[in-house]
Amino acid sequence: MDENKENLPNNHQEENKIKKKKTIPTTSSSSEDNSITTQDTSSNKEEKQRKKKKKKSIFVRILLFLLILIIIFVVTAIATSLWFVNDKLDKLNYVNDVTKEDVSVDTQVDESLSEYRNIALLGIDTRDDTFTGSRSDCIIIVSINNNTKDVKLLSVYRDTYLDIEGHGLDKVTHAYAYGGPRLTLSTLNRNLDLNISEFVTVNFETVRTVVNAIGGVDITVTAAEASQISGLSGAGTYTLDGAQALAYSRIRKIDTDYQRTERMRTVLNAVFEKVKKLDLAQLNSLLDTVLPHLSTNISKNDIIALLPDLLSYNVTDSEGWPYETRGITLNLWYGIPVTLEENVKQLHENLFGEENYEPSETVKSISNQIIQKTGYSN
């Protein structure tokens, strides 16, 4: 018994020793676990960073891919648009032998009108698509302010008595028959102090085609005008078809050539406003119909350059010229500008805002010739 008791403490000591020995590896294991945990955490961070980099790389690639697609789309769209426009413009009848160098333009006049683009719209009546050997029954100067995009229309009365180079004093309408658009532009420039070097010639029959292609134009007519147009019963506003619009613009019996040219401008303005509202499909159809019936010396590149601003153009004024005129019968009936010099002064004030304009010596000389020939000085 006593021996057993004496051994007890030893047993406890042994147990304690065993316990102490067991705790030692436990402490070591925890340290290793912490080390492994630290390694795992570091490894996870690296993995996450790799994934983030991979995601960024994929995102950048997607962006680059989308950018390339956008570039391809834009280039294709531009190329398609240019092809479309070029294809349409190929239908025009281009005149390559009427350049600015071929047309009489005073240098000082050209400089003073540098902010304006003046284009002559010439209407001929050949009944087919030939553009020579006819008088210009319609002469409209389309004046575009390059800064404001405002457009003014000026009709030059066809019987106006002016100097045609090489033919003397005559009706301005005869200039086209004598020398085509080149001589017509030179005549307008010399007599009116203008800088026109571009023209568009249209056959009157094309008016019928254009108006029909856009579904007619709304025109208000008087009772007298209605009596000259088939299908109208009296005064009022009508949607005129091509034949009716052409008949309206040609009316001569009820009044004067001045009112006739005003009616031409009315039809032209109505067509212009309606064309601006056409959708792409309608415009495409119209171009296919009309362009083969036009003749011009405006190049493809110049026409394409005009297109972006087309919808911005606004016709702000339309009038006839000369402002003061008197009729006289010599060998034929003529409309005499009274005087040419005064009418040119007023033209430059109305069309270009040039107050106190001083006409060129050429205009003054022609004005004096007209006075001597007709006796009309005021």
How high is the pLDDT of residue 203? 82
Question: Where residue 100 falls among pLDDT bands split at 50, 70, 90?
Answer: confident
Domain boundaries, the chain: 93-374
According to DSSP, the β-strands at 314-321 and 333-337 are: unpaired
How high is the pLDDT of residue 113? 95
Cα-based distances in Å from 126 to 73, 174, 180, 202: 46, 14, 13, 10
Q: What is the C-alpha to C-alpha distance for residues 198 and 210, in angstroms, rounded to an integer?
A: 22
Half-sphere exposure of 340 (CA within 13 A, CB side): 30
Cβ 167 vs Cβ 339: under 8 Å: no
pLDDT tens string 328-363: 999 899 999 999 999 999 999 999 999 999 999 999
Q: Which of 207, 204, 156, 145 is nearest to 184 (CA)?
A: 156
pLDDT tens string 160-213: 999 999 999 999 999 999 999 999 999 999 999 999 999 999 887 788 888 998
- Burial (0-12, 13-18, 19+ Cβ within 10 Å), 23: exposed
Q: What is the C-alpha to C-alpha distance for residues 93 and 85, in angstroms, rounded to an integer?
A: 15
pLDDT at 65 over 80: no
93-374 CATH, one of 3.40.190.10, 3.40.640.10, 3.40.630.190, 3.40.605.10: 3.40.630.190
Cα-based distances in Å from 309 to 84, 269, 284, 299: 18, 17, 18, 17
Q: Which of 155, 163, 158 is nearest to 317 (CA)?
A: 155
Global model pTM greater than 0.95: no
Q: What is the C-alpha to C-alpha distance for residues 292 and 280, in angstroms, rounded to an integer?
A: 19
Burial state string for 182-203 with b = 16 or more CB within 10 A and e = fewer than 16: bbbbbbbbbbbbbbbbbbbbbb
Q: What is the C-alpha to C-alpha distance for residues 73 and 262, in angstroms, rounded to an integer?
A: 47
Q: What is the C-alpha to C-alpha distance for residues 195 and 11, in angstroms, rounded to an integer?
A: 128
Range of 21-35, 41-55, 224-238, 287-301 with top mean pLDDT: 224-238
- At residue 165's C-alpha, the angle toward residues 93 and 137, to 5°, is 50
